[in-house]
Amino acid sequence: MKNTYESPFNSRYASSEMQELFSPDMKFKTWRRLWIALAQAEKELGLEITKEQIDELERYKDDINYDVAQIKEKEFRHDVMAHIHAYGEQCPNARGIIHLGATSCYVGDNTDIIIMTEALKLVRKKLVNVISKLSSFALKYKAMPCLGFTHYQPAQLVTVGKRACLWIQDLIIDLSDLDFLITNMMLLGSKGTTGTQASFLSLFDGDHEKVKKLDLLIAEKMGFSSVFPVSGQTYTRKLDSRVMNVLSGIAQSAYKFSNDMRLLQSMKEVEEPFEKSQIGSSAMAYKRNPMRSERISALARYVIVDALNPAITASTQWFERSLDDSANKRISIPEGFLAVDAILNIYMNVADGLVVYPKVIEKHILDELPFMATENILMEAVKRGGDRQELHEKIRLHSMEAAKKVKEEGMKNDLIERIAADNSFGLNIEELMTVLKPENYIGRSSQQVDEFINTHVMPVVEKGGDSDIKVELKV
């Protein structure tokens, strides 16, 4: 047991893949890749940099002498300079050309963009996985009637699968935003201390074309097709805000799902997975708490609030840069990704193991359907010669009495029995039960599920690649 604070994102929530992306090791190895890309591009554009120097840099790109870097950082109080010197000790021949013409944000900001891009791709993979699992659930239960709710009051019937499509549609919108963002991610490139590229213009003796080419060559070597056309010392912090807004959108969708699940589990209609030895309450042994859905709600709330951090930071940057972004950024961005990663891991787990209780759903329908079926009953009675206005008034009175029995006496809804006993309607109980078939009241729910999944969802899932990620929750 550790005696110092450890983030719950590491110990309880986020996956090892996401943690590794935001690890110090990933950051510093990416710094070295960027220094190599800079040297290669400068060599290709004519600076006196040798192949041997670049080979030396390549040899040590993943073998970081952290002990030396730590000593140098205590000495310099500057992390980038510490790592430049540490790299230089391993590569004495290349020492003089490491970081040539660059400023700290060359490695710092470009690395942040590279890591965020990879993290967005991991989020995408998991998001598609959730969509796939929910789609299978929607198709399986596309025709199972259940009560719809407006204002959390019983309303016209829907189906279990149709409701799931509401959850999926939110995620499809999030996926569209995510894809747009990934497609439009661009590097800072090599812009210099205030974004003017003055140092590189000096290195290339005033050759503007080579300076522009340097920017694009570095991006290409790091797997990007473009760079920000203009910048201060940093890339615009609007990008961080934009990234967190997309993550917040995913959190919002997951939050909606988790709230619905918590309500459904309270109604005993649908439950999240419950392990054989899982304990719902330390005091109430019978309880089956929706702890996974509650955790989604909790983490989603964190992400939604966390999105304010880069929004405020983007708003308050001074001119070409100020350093009040750094401390906030190194907390808010990684933790936003770690939280969304955790949310999607739980979402996958829940979506893959949803338990439906048809008998409870049917009971709830039959408790309310008599009220909803009164218009159909009225029409059937009129066909048999009844007076529409007279029968309407009788149904109103019978409905009020039945509702009184339910609400005040806790009795079952006996509206159908009351109508059957009223000779004015000319319908016996068997005929009335035919009118009460739940499948007659679900409209196009089943067809909507097929159309939505086949037209809007399956193309996304099939394009998404690996849609069968296995996750194991830590707690």
- Could you give the C-alpha distances from 467 to 130, 188, 395, in angstroms and in order? 8, 32, 52
CA dist 219 and 105 (Å) reads: 15
CA dist 381 and 90 (Å) reads: 93
User: Are the beta carbons of 371 and 412 closer than 8 angstroms?
Assistant: no
442, two tokens: 């679900």
Residues 6+ apart with CB under 8 A from 220: none
User: Are the beta carbons of 138 and 449 closer than 8 angstroms?
Assistant: yes
Q: Active site includes 151?
A: yes
Catalytic residue, from 202, 266, 281, 326: name it: 281
Q: Active site includes 456?
A: no
User: Are the beta carbons of 42 and 100 closer than 8 angstroms?
Assistant: yes
Annotated catalytic residues are 151, 281
